């Protein structure tokens, strides 16, 4: 091969660039979540909801306005919808999954159950790198935010 | 004007097949481990291995001539102003020129428009190709860097900052990423010019349409997952990190088929990449018109595959015919004669 003095460093830089996630993770291997996502953090919602493996007896009576799977993906859309309806259209009630009506309010409805900001919001959001700005204005439940 | 559509339609068909495969494989057959672990790892291996194969292949090719493309005054007498970027005289200037080429596409900025007006051929300035290519490439780079947030924990701060800048205007909810918008604009332009510019259409083949359409479908499935059909991002991050740390786990929480389509299209791109025109990503560095300094007059460039040629020097020739030459009265060059005797 010709120009090995330039080609070899080039290949090394290319491989380092393409494997960025691998060595960035190696740098903090201790901070990584456990091997099985279900040990530790993944099933945080089962404390208040029916889990997939069966009802969690302690709190099956308390239900969210929508089911867990929907809320995992779409809670931000729901909150956005609530803000639109309440602040801009003046509506007050939202008809939930169980047919009951809920007051559309982050602090008075959502945070009544989901009061633990650090464990409920922040853990997921930090983990997935999604930045939220709800609590720039709202008070974040019992726990101090940050 | 007739538009050649065959290659375009063939590419669309290929993309449709690539979308149907994971739809059937995951949606119907439920082969999550195959599509979620085996194919992505295989694709990564082919991608990196293929790129290295292409690099080694190019690095083994000899460079018989120095054929730098220049468009400026080369280094000459000290009082003649020279152009360092347009006619680089040393490796540092070559590296500078390469940097501007890779990040700002200077050579595309010189792209010209050539049109027939009646019977007259007119040339003019055309910056659209440069702009479209820049939007597409830089958009792609930013999107790839943003994806680090799925693969790395804790998320690096520069990724968070990049994301904030990318969503700076907070248009819509979830916030529109400017890179998403710009890459789509760039891709749309690059595709439409192949379809509607007769001159470009004439030289466009499936190998031109397919990568464009493949990247468009990757971008569209990605945007769909962000805007409309939202998957469980928490489960996806667990899955992505497990891939990046080589202990692959398919999460039990349901991940939408759309995600697997996105993943399969990306894997297809990775496999296709090293063996298609897309490999210009590394090819640009091996482009002999770009990677050589224009120092022909300062350093002799020796063709590496020159082989020793047997030739006769004048003095050898003179020694051979000395008698005949003296007889015929042809003057003998004694200096050369002496040299021969010295060497002997």
Which residue ranges make up each domain of chain B?
A: 6-310, 312-344
Interface confidence (ipTM) of the complex = 0.83
On whether any CB of chain A is under 8 Å from the CB of B30, the answer is no
Number of Cβ within a 10 Å radius of residue B336: 16
Of A11, A38, A52, the CB nearest to B52: A11
Task: Summarize pLDDT for A74-123 with one digit per residue, the tens.
Answer: 888 888 888 889 999 988 888 877 777 888 888 888 887 787 777 778 87
For chain A, what is the total number of helices (H) and then of strands (E)?
6, 2
* B261-to-A9, A128, B15, B267 alpha-carbon distances in Å: 35, 21, 11, 10
* A145-to-A42, A113, A133, A135, A141 alpha-carbon distances in Å: 21, 16, 12, 8, 8
CB contact under 8 A, B153 and A4: no
- Residue B183's pLDDT is what? 96
On whether any CB of chain B is under 8 Å from the CB of A53, the answer is no
For every residue of B268-310, DSSP letters joined together read HHHHHGGGSGGGHHHHGGG-TTTSS-S-TTTSPPPPTT--PPP
Q: Which helix (H) or strand (E) holds A103?
A: strand A101-103
Do residues B107 and B116 make contact, with C-beta atoms less than 8 angstroms apart?
no
For chain B, what is the total number of helices (H) and then of strands (E)?
17, 2
**Separation between Cα atoms, residue A93 and residue A111, nearest integer Å:** 16
**To probe the interface with B, which of A14, A33, A37 has the most B CB atoms within 10 Å?**
A37
What is the CATH topology of the domain spanning B6-310? Fumarate Reductase Cytochrome B subunit (1.20.950)
CB contact under 8 A, A4 and B59: yes
Q: Which residues, listed in sequence order, are joined to residue B120 by a DSSP beta bridge?
A: B117
Cα of B62 to nearest chain A Cα, Å: 7
Chain A 81-120, residues with CB within 8 Å of chain B CB atoms: none
For every residue of B86-104, DSSP letters joined together read TS--SHHHHHHHHHHHHHH
On whether any CB of chain B is under 8 Å from the CB of A124, the answer is yes
Chain B residues with CB-CB distance to A1 below 8 A: 56, 59-60
Helix (H, G, I), strand (E, B) or coil at A50: coil
Q: Which residue is closest to A33 within chain B, CA to CA?
A: B238
**Separation between Cα atoms, residue A104 and residue A73, nearest integer Å:** 19
Cα of A35 to nearest chain B Cα, Å: 7
Range of A4-8, A135-139, B214-218 with top mean pLDDT: B214-218
Task: Summarize pLDDT for A13-70 with one digit per residue, the tens.
Answer: 999 999 999 888 887 766 565 554 444 444 444 444 444 444 343 344 367 788 777 8
Interface size between A and B, measured as CB pairs under 8 A: 113
- Residue B219's pLDDT is what? 97
Band of pLDDT at residue A129, cut at 50, 70 and 90 = confident
Paired tokens of B61: 């090719």
- Residue B46's pLDDT is what? 97
CB contact under 8 A, A77 and B164: no
On whether any CB of chain B is under 8 Å from the CB of A1, the answer is yes
Q: Is B252 exposed, middle or buried (0-12, 13-18, 19+ CB in 10 A)?
A: middle
Chain B 136-175, residues with CB within 8 Å of chain A CB atoms: 148-156, 159-160, 163-164, 173-174
Chain A residues with CB-CB distance to B235 below 8 A: 37, 42
Cα of B67 to nearest chain A Cα, Å: 16
* B268-to-A136, B48, B261 alpha-carbon distances in Å: 42, 14, 10
CB contact under 8 A, A33 and B232: no
CB contact under 8 A, A131 and B164: yes
**Separation between Cα atoms, residue B108 and residue B85, nearest integer Å:** 15
- Residue B1's pLDDT is what? 54
Of A29, A33, A129, the CB nearest to B238: A33
CB contact under 8 A, A20 and B148: yes
Chain A residues with CB-CB distance to B234 below 8 A: 42, 72, 124, 127-128
- Rounded mean pLDDT for each run of 10 residues along chain B, 344 residues in total: 85 97 92 93 96 95 90 92 92 94 92 85 89 96 94 88 91 88 96 92 94 97 91 87 87 85 97 96 93 90 86 86 91 71 64
Chain B 53-72, residues with CB within 8 Å of chain A CB atoms: 55-56, 59-63
């Amino acid at each position: 091969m010709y120009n090995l003095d330039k080609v070899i460093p080039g290949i090394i830089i290319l491989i380092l660039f393409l494997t960025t996630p691998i060595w960035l993770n190696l740098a903090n291997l201790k901070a990584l979540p456990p091997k099985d996502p279900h040990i530790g953090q993944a099933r945080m919602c089962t404390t208040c909801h029916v889990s997939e493996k069966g009802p969690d007896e302690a709190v099956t009576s308390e239900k969210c306005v929508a089911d867990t799977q929907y809320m995992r993906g779409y809670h931000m859309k729901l909150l956005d919808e609530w803000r639109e309806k309440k602040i801009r259209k003046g509506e007050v009630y939202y008809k939930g999954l169980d047919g009951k009506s809920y007051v559309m309010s982050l602090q008075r409805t959502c945070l009544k159950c989901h009061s633990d900001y650090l464990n409920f919001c922040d853990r997921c959001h930090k983990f997935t790198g999604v930045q939220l700005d709800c609590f720039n204005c709202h008070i974040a439940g019992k726990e101090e935010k940050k | 004007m007739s538009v050649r559509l065959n290659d375009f339609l063939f590419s669309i068909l290929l993309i449709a097949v690539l979308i149907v495969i994971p739809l059937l494989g995951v949606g119907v057959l439920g082969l999550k481990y195959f599509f979620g672990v085996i194919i992505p790892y295989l694709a990564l291996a082919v991608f990196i291995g293929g790129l290295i194969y292409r690099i080694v292949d190019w690095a083994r090719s000899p460079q018989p001539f120095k054929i730098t493309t220049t468009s400026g005054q080369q280094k000459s007498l000290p009082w003649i102003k020279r152009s360092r970027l347009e006619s680089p005289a040393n490796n540092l200037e070559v590296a500078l020129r390469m940097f501007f080429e890779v990040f700002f596409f200077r050579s595309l900025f010189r792209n010209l428009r050539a049109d027939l007006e009646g019977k007259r051929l007119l040339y003019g300035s055309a910056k659209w190709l440069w702009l479209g290519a820049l939007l597409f490439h830089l958009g792609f780079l930013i999107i790839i860097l943003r994806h680090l947030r799925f693969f790395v924990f804790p998320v690096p701060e520069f990724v968070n900052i990049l994301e904030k800048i990318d969503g700076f205007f907070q248009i819509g909810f979830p916030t529109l990423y400017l890179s998403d918008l710009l890459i789509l604009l760039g891709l749309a332009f690059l595709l439409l010019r192949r379809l509607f510019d007769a001159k470009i259409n004439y030289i466009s083949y499936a190998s031109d349409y397919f990568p464009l359409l493949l990247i468009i479908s990757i971008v569209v499935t990605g945007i769909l997952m962000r805007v409309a059909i939202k998957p469980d991002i928490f489960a996806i991050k667990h899955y992505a990190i497990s891939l990046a740390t080589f202990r692959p786990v398919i999460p039990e929480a349901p991940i939408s088929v759309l995600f697997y389509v996105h993943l399969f299209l990306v894997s297809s791109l990775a496999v296709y990449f090293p063996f298609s025109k897309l490999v210009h990503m590394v090819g640009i560095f091996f482009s002999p018109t770009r990677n050589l300094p224009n120092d022909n007059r300062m350093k002799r460039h020796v063709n590496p595959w020159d082989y020793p040629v047997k030739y006769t020097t004048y003095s050898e020739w003179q020694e051979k015919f000395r008698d005949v030459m003296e007889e015929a009265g042809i003057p003998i060059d004694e200096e050369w004669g002496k040299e021969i005797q010295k060497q002997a």
